[in-house]
Amino acid sequence: MKKTLALLLAVAMIITAVPFVFSGCGSSDKSGSKADTATTTLTVGFDAEFPPYGYKDEKTGEYKGFDLDLAAEVCKRNNWELKKQPIDWDSKDMELNSGTIDCIWNGFTINGREDDYTWSVPYIDNSQVVVVGKSSDIKSLADLKGKTVAVQSDSSALAALTGDDATKENKKLAASFKELQQIPNYETALLNLESGAVDAVCMDIGVANYKVEASKDKFRLLDDQISSEQYGIGFKKGNTELKDKVEKTLLEMSKDGTVEKIAKEYKLEDALCLGK
Amino acid sequence: MAALLVPSLLTSCSLDDKSGLGWFFGVILQLSEGMWASLVLFVLTLLFSMPLGLLVCFARRSRFKVVELIAKFYISIMRGTPLMLQLLVVYFGPYFVFKVALSTEYRFYAAIIGFALNYAAYFAEIYRSGIEAVPKGQYEAAHVLGYTKAQTFMKIVFPQMVRHILPPVTNEVITLVKDTSLAFAIAFVEMFTLAKQISATESTIMPLFVAGLFYYIFNLVVSYAMGLLEKKMNYYS
């Protein structure tokens, strides 16, 4: 009898605890959405494993990068507070749609995603290139025939090779590979390349340049490019109000040379396409 | 695989003076924030999942068929689906189902809720095995001696259950230490996430090994503590 009583009590406790938990998160939501409507904070979602656009600085331990520096300047000029939120790249749509982040600003490719987000003007022209080992005998795209090639899963390189909007040549190219391996991040992909597990890695030119330099000549780039594409800031579809504000400030920064100054810090000035 | 890794490890060590003790402690320092996050997640998960597991266990052993079925269903869902999916559901569920706007602070709560719910299911089954290992004769003897059901449980069954379940609980706790790295599915930044980020910036996989060392030491401490507890509980031999 007492056991039953204890059980009933336990069930009652759980049931009463449930609304408490939800009211708990409900109240914190209110404060969150209040901040949104006043746009006092701009929460930028980014993949912190994507240098030089967004990464963890090795000296200070702070999150920095070209995109984050741009975002910081935009916030400074609008008197907003910038919140840098590292996210799991695979969950980016859930984060954006549920309002936990205000925008995705992280070397985010527009091409192929035109209708999925409300986009700012493109600010970086980014092409997809092929990284191979320094002493590899692969010289052109045609040499990739019968080779094992790695790409980051859900990346622009993968979309350019096998996506719905991929060009015929690229689809043919992808079909000529021995295997197209999907690897969760660039770091692992390059480790695979270095250890000989794959013959080539397709990735964004900005990251590729950074990695080739950091590798101290372990890798090199092919002259042929797989595709050219552009980066923009992605906002939740329909959030034109915030997009317009950010874009206006960004264009002002481009006019007075601030954008180029920041780009030079990250050696991205050649890829800039804002206002061109 | 190991043969492939070792040379690349050596080269990445000799690059950029990334082999020094100073660099090693630099990485530790950068990881420390994440270590704290992992530790908090670990402690709070245990704090909530262990009692919750006992409730689920009671429900699972209930005389009422409905209660038993609910508990069985709960356990089968929690054990049968990936923890990463459960975390995503706990975090994003309120928005996609009830259209409640989410706050950033909720990430932390969602991680704790998700882990506690999941681990409670495993603990419930471990507790059940411990309770059912107590021979029926002891219940009968207790009844004859005039113990109530509650007294029988608290004074006779529970102490023996604790003794029985220590080894499997140790297993679960050690798994939990390593599972904390799954919390990044909902962008809860813990140690392994930081290690991956540092690794991406510095173009070396050494930070991952430093993180591995941390998990290993953490688990050594856990198994040592549980070993001591086991020894203390082993009062019959």
**Residues A237, A115 within the same domain:** yes
Domain that holds residue A144: 127-229
Q: CB–CB of B196 and A187 under 8 A?
A: yes
The per-residue DSSP string of A48-61 comes to TEETTTEEE-TTT-
E strand segments, chain A:
41-46, 49-50, 54-56, 63-64, 81-86, 103-109, 118-119, 124-133, 148-152, 179-183, 200-204, 219-235
**Residues A234, A121 within the same domain:** yes
In chain B, which among 54-73 make CB contacts under 8 A with chain A? Answer: 55, 58-59, 62-63, 67
Of the listed ranges A155-159, B148-152, B156-160, the least confidently predicted one is A155-159
**Residues A224, A139 within the same domain:** yes
**Residues of A in Cβ contact (< 8 Å) with B59:** 7, 10-11
Cis preceding-peptide flag for B82 (omega within 30 of 0): no
Give the up-direction half-sphere exposure of residue B5: CA atoms within 13 A in the CB hemisphere: 8
**Residues A164, A246 within the same domain:** no
- pLDDT at position A245 is 94
Within a domain: A77:
yes
Q: CB–CB of A99 and B205 under 8 A?
A: no
Query: Per-domain residue ranges for chain B?
Result: 20-233
Instruction: Give which of B134, B152, B135 is closest to B143, Cα–Cα.
Output: B152
DSSP-derived pairing of the beta strands A49-50 and A54-56: antiparallel
Within a domain: A6:
no
Within a domain: A133:
yes
Q: What is the ipTM of this complex?
A: 0.72
Q: Would you say A85 and A100 are in contact if contact means Cβ atoms under 8 Å apart?
A: yes
Strand partners, A143: none
- pLDDT at position B201 is 79
Q: CB–CB of A100 and B104 under 8 A?
A: yes
**Residues A121, A131 within the same domain:** no
Question: How far is A276 from chain B, CA to nearest CA, in Å?
Answer: 31
Within a domain: A33:
no
- pLDDT at position B6 is 43
Q: CB–CB of B196 and A49 under 8 A?
A: yes
Cα–Cα dist A119/A97, whole Å = 14
Please report the number of interchain residue pairs, chain A to chain B, with beta-carbon separation below 8 angstroms.
Answer: 133
Q: CB–CB of B94 and A211 under 8 A?
A: no
- pLDDT at position B127 is 97
Instruction: Give which of A103, A106, A124 is closest to A229, Cα–Cα.
Output: A124
Mean pLDDT value across chain B: 88
Instruction: Give which of A227, A228, A249 is closest to A168, Cα–Cα.
Output: A227
**Residues A200, A219 within the same domain:** yes
Q: Which residues neighbour A72 within 8 Å (Cβ) at sequence distance 6 or greater?
A: A82
From the candidate CATH numbers 3.30.465.10, 3.40.630.10, 3.30.420.40, 1.10.3720.10, the one assigned to the domain spanning B20-233: 1.10.3720.10
Within a domain: A57:
yes
**Residues A74, A132 within the same domain:** no
**Residues A46, A137 within the same domain:** no
- pLDDT at position A154 is 76
Within a domain: A254:
yes
**Residues of B in Cβ contact (< 8 Å) with A85:** 104, 187
Q: Does A91 touch chain B (CB under 8 A)?
A: yes
Please report, for the domain that includes residue A67, its CATH number.
Answer: 3.40.190.10
Within a domain: A218:
yes
What value does the mean pLDDT take over residues B14-19? 49
- pLDDT at position A61 is 81
**Residues A104, A237 within the same domain:** yes
pLDDT tens track for B27-68? 888 888 889 999 999 999 999 999 999 999 999 999 999 999
- Looking up tokens 């050494």 gives B206
pTM: 0.72
Per residue of chain A (276 residues), what is the pLDDT tens digit? 455 555 555 555 555 454 444 444 433 333 444 444 555 899 999 999 888 899 988 778 889 999 999 999 999 999 999 999 999 988 899 999 998 999 999 989 898 899 999 999 999 987 889 999 988 889 999 899 999 999 988 788 888 888 877 888 888 898 899 989 888 888 888 888 988 889 999 988 878 888 888 888 889 999 888 888 889 999 999 999 999 999 999 999 999 999 999 999 988 877 888 865
- pLDDT at position A188 is 84
**Residues A235, A224 within the same domain:** no
Q: Does A112 touch chain B (CB under 8 A)?
A: no
- pLDDT at position A211 is 86
**Residues A121, A235 within the same domain:** yes
Within a domain: A176:
yes
Q: How many domains does the structure of chain A reveal?
A: 2
What value does the mean pLDDT take over residues B95-112? 87
Residue B193, helix vs strand vs coil: helix
